[in-house]
Structure 1
Amino acid sequence: MINVIVSYTVKPEFVSENKENIQNFLNDFRQLDLSAFEYKVFLKEDGVTFLHYSNYSNEEVQHEVLNTPSFKEFQRLRDESGLNGSHKVEFLESI
């Protein structure tokens, strides 16, 4: 099992667009085998920091999910919005 937390902070004026972009890829993820992965997104209390939690049964599933076109587009738009070095990826060990 692969468990990942990704966090990043966007500019206040990008929050609404980022939420829409997230919803787009979450809708597309529903077309995949949901028994093989879990993907949740949260907005922290500050209103500008997003936290993505995901787990995948294996690397093949992770690759399929993360290469969904709408997810790739979300990443591109998010990165172009100006994250100011706030992007952080953490791999978690299951206990």
Structure 2
Amino acid sequence: MISVIVTYKIKKEFLEQNKANIEKFIQDFEKLDATQFEYKIFTKQDGLTFVHHSLYKNEAIQKQLLSVPSFLQFQKQRDETGLDGKAQIEILNLLASSNEKWKK
């Protein structure tokens, strides 16, 4: 299992575009085999800091998601136009899970 957290803050004027881009790639992700991954997006209290948490069964499904055109477009616009600072990427190692789906 692969678990990744990406945290970033966007410029206020990019907020609505970022939300629209997220909605678009999530709709595309929903067309894929959801038994192989989970992708969740949260915002912090400031409304401008986003936290993406993804869980992948394996590297193959991770590569598939990361190559979805709408996701690539989201990243491109965010990185070129919307970021306020730099995105932070963290890889997590699973210690335990209450969900059989994600156990080692």
**Do residues 50 (structure 1) and 53 (structure 2) align?**
no
Deviation at 1:85, TM superposition (A): 3.3
Aligned counterpart, 2:76: 76
In structure 1, distance between residues paired with 2:16 and 2:84: 18
Unpaired runs of at least 5, structure 1: none
Aligned counterpart, 1:2: 2
Query: 1:57-68 alignment to 2 at 5 Å?
Result: 57-68=57-68
In structure 2, distance between residues paired with 1:91 and 1:49: 19
Identity, % of aligned positions: 51
Aligned counterpart, 1:37: 37
- The 3-state SS of whatever aligns with 1:40 is strand
Aligned counterpart, 1:86: 86
Give the partner amino acid of 1:54: S
Deviation at 1:83, TM superposition (A): 2.1
Task: Give the superposed CA RMSD.
Answer: 0.9
1:17-63 deviation per Cα after TM superposition (whole angstroms, max 9, x unaligned): 10000000000001111000000001110111000000000000000
- The 3-state SS of whatever aligns with 1:81 is helix
Deviation at 1:80, TM superposition (A): 1.1
Q: How many residues align?
A: 95
Unpaired runs of at least 5, structure 2: 96-104
Q: Which runs of 4+ in 1 moved over 4 A?
A: none
